[in-house]
Amino acid sequence: MTAKKYGKTYSDYEIKNTAIKFNKENDIAATKIGCVGTLEDEMETKTVTKKCEGRVVKSRTKGTGFGTIKISAHINYDVYTRMYGMYFTELAPGVFAYGKDSKHEEFTLMGEVYDEDDVKKLVAYPNCTVSSGKATKIENGAEEVAEVELEIAVCPDDYGFGKYEAIEEMLEDDNIKSKWMTSFNYDLVKASGAVQTNSDDKAA
């Protein structure tokens, strides 16, 4: 299938909506993460070179599916405590803790990004965990409430992809448009009739 062309310049300008879906609850609708001030991502690459008589004669670069996201936001408290693995059944209701048994939970992060002309681009990172430690800064008398800063590790999903994106006006399937921000997964965006293979099959 030939990819549909956009043919216009697109520049990420602002993110107006972000949502999170914990991966143990694939059938449960996503939760709004809160108010995101900034989101920055960087996806990793791997470069392989071929040398002949000591000189590089060929170089090929490809993605790995791994990356890093940095977020500054005011985060929904329920989302925050789950991200950091602060739920423990031995604690009284309403009490959360962070320690040696806190396992940072895996989640999918979805967002709506806009360019300067309000053209919407949908983005999704299907396999994320918070990689930074829990940190707090309190400043009495501050004129602005400080945002929480998080660093998030991005790993590839079972199909080798670490980030998905789609300019909404290019999408022909209304089901993708309506479900991207609530229940994103590979099956939602897989092409009709495509044979589903995982990343191990691709590498074989």
The tens digit of pLDDT for each residue in 19-74 reads 999 988 766 678 999 899 999 999 999 999 999 988 989 999 999 999 999 999 99
Q: Are 137 and 51 in contact (CB under 8 A)?
A: no
Beta pairing partners, 50: 58
Reduced to 3 states (helix: H, G, I; strand: E, B; else coil), residue 181 is helix
% the chain with pLDDT above 90: 72
How confident is residue 112, by pLDDT bands cut at 50, 70 and 90?
very high
Residues 6+ away with beta carbon under 8 Å from 23: 105, 106, 107, 108, 127
The least confident of 24-38, 143-157, 175-189 is: 24-38
State how beta strands 120-130 and 148-154 pair. antiparallel
What is the CA 122 to chain-centroid distance, rounded?
Answer: 11
Reduced to 3 states (helix: H, G, I; strand: E, B; else coil), residue 83 is helix
pTM, to two decimals:
0.87
Beta pairing partners, 43: 67
Q: Are 23 and 108 in contact (CB under 8 A)?
A: yes
Sequence spans of domains, the chain: 14-190
Nearest to 40 by CA among 69, 74, 72: 69
124/15 Cα distance (integer angstroms) = 13
Q: Is the pLDDT of residue 95 over 70?
A: yes
Q: Are 147 and 72 in contact (CB under 8 A)?
A: yes
57/46 Cα distance (integer angstroms) = 17
The mean of the pLDDT values for the chain is 90
Report the pLDDT value the prediction gives residue 157, as an integer from 0 to 100: 96
